[in-house]
Amino acid sequence: MRALEDSVVTQYILHKHHLLKGSQAENVLETVNDIIALHATSAETPYISLFNRVKNFQRKHLDEEFYIRRNLLRFQAMRGTLFITSTQSAPTLYQATKIPEPQLLKWTQKWGMKPSEQRELTQKLCSILKGGGKTLPEIKRALSKGMVKSFELRAGKTVYKMTNVNIVLNVMMHLGLVVSEKAAGTLRITEANRYFLFQEIYPKLNLESVRSEEAKAMLINRYVEAFGPVTEEDISWWTGFGKTDIKEALAVMEANLLHVKMSSLREDYVMLRTDYEQLVKFKPLRTDSTSLLPYEDPYTKGYKARDRLIDREHEKTVYVGGGAQPTILLNGKIIGTWNQNIEKGKEPIKLRFFIQPEKNVKREVFQKAKTIGKLMTNREVSIEIEL
């Protein structure tokens, strides 16, 4: 088993993620393909993730790829989370993580919907959405009177409520029939989604071009390549796959894998042999690299074992309820947090350091916060620093 210096490994992963100083990518599409997907639960997150990774990034660069060129799309993938990925990667992510149709049918029946009702409403929605996107209120107004119904689902003492329109739209999105997106330029998570027929927006994209089992193996391979070295627990957590699926995939990949140890970490790690060859050639920087990563950034959400990213005493400050808060990164390690309230129109941006940073680090982080503020609000924002 090969032994690796973890500080070198960390810099190498930053390099692969375009987060190491001097490793920024030339464009949005290159970046998204290299890190597989951007977390898109928050409207701000993809922009700030790309700001840290793309040379001279402006918000219009993402909007052009997403809304105009249609090289990117947003849908639920790993762990049922919203991601933005490329049309090139979409079939793999979709097939690897999709919910089987019988399971979706069982879910609608659990809500009390009959299969005949679901089929009828699906046809109606396809007709309504033909020729352009609509918001949920617009869809409901287009349906005939009395067709919109409310359903309740009781789970213990909790009662969930949803209309039949919401239920069927959810199913249609999981089946790759419908996509939802917010208006171009919006940063507000409360902005209404617009629903479109998938084939009208992406007429050349075939989500069925790869089989499900192949897609799972391909996704595991891509994750190990982009985030490795990783543990089996990392792979299972990131993909959402069961441990049996992981072990079977790794057994097939064994000839292409290398088992390694990192100097200050106890777990066993795997990485691709080709990736190890690149790591051996990699020359670490002697200068500091800083980043202000957003809520749910791919780097901070990339691993189950987080001791490689943050000291244990601060982990619960950053990882709250399963989510990764906006973080200040120094050479791949989390040294603080910052508030990402730009979409709510709140300022100042507050930088909270766990330790007293060096003056040059503080100055660089301060300047990046100013740049992010202006990028996202088109005006100067105030910055405060706390320890």
Q: Which domain holds residue 356?
A: 290-386
pLDDT of residue 344: 54
> Is the pLDDT confidence value at 1 over 70?
no
Burial class (CB in 10 A: 0-12, 13-18, 19+), 328: buried
Same domain, 294 and 197: no
- Nearest CA to 93 out of 64, 112, 110, 72 is that of 72
Look up the CATH number of the domain holding residue 141.
1.10.10
Q: Using DSSP, state whether 75 is helix, strand or coil.
A: strand
- Compute the mean pLDDT over every residue in the chain, rounded to the nearest whole number: 93
> Is the pLDDT confidence value at 232 over 70?
yes
pLDDT of residue 263: 84
Determine the Cα–Cα distance for residues 212 and 220; give it in Å rounded to an integer: 12
Task: Say how many C-beta atoms besides its own lie within 10 A of residue 64's C-beta.
Answer: 15
- The domain total for the chain is 2
Residue 16 lies in a domain: no
Residue % of the chain over a pLDDT of 70 = 97
Give, in degrees to the nearest 5, the angle at Cα 304 between 300 and 307: 75
> Is the pLDDT confidence value at 370 over 90?
yes
Residue 63 lies in a domain: no
> pLDDT-derived band of residue 342, with 50, 70 and 90 as boundaries?
low
Q: Which residues fall within 8 angstroms of residue 134, CB to CB, at 6 or more apart?
A: 128, 142, 194, 195
Burial class (CB in 10 A: 0-12, 13-18, 19+), 352: middle
Residue 218 lies in a domain: no
DSSP-derived secondary structure for 290-317: EEEE-TT-TTTTS-S-GGGTS-HHHHHH
Determine the Cα–Cα distance for residues 89 and 79; give it in Å rounded to an integer: 17
pLDDT single digits (tens) 284-307: 999 999 999 999 999 999 999 899
Distances (CA, A) of 284 to 12, 258, 296: 7, 21, 26
Residue 186 lies in a domain: yes
pLDDT single digits (tens) 236-275: 999 999 999 999 999 999 999 999 998 888 889 999 999 9
Q: Report the DSSP pairing between strands 383-386 and 349-353.
A: parallel
Residue 215 lies in a domain: no
Among 154, 169, 201, identify where a domain stops: 201
Rounded average pLDDT over 128-133: 93
pTM for the full model?
0.94
Among 201, 220, 252, identify where a domain stops: 201
Q: Which residues fall within 8 angstroms of residue 313, CB to CB, at 6 or more apart?
A: none
Residue 125 contacts residue 133 (beta carbons within 8 Å): no
pLDDT of residue 343: 53
Among 181, 201, 221, identify where a domain stops: 201
> Is the pLDDT confidence value at 4 over 60?
yes
Residue 187 lies in a domain: yes
Specify the higher pLDDT residue, 379 or 367: 367
> Is the pLDDT confidence value at 350 over 80?
yes
Which stretches within 148-231 are classed as H helix?
Answer: 164-174, 198-201, 212-227
Residue 222 lies in a domain: no
Return left, alpha or beta for 12; rule: phi > 0 is left, psi -120 to 50 is alpha, else beta: alpha
> pLDDT-derived band of residue 163, with 50, 70 and 90 as boundaries?
very high
Residue 345 lies in a domain: yes
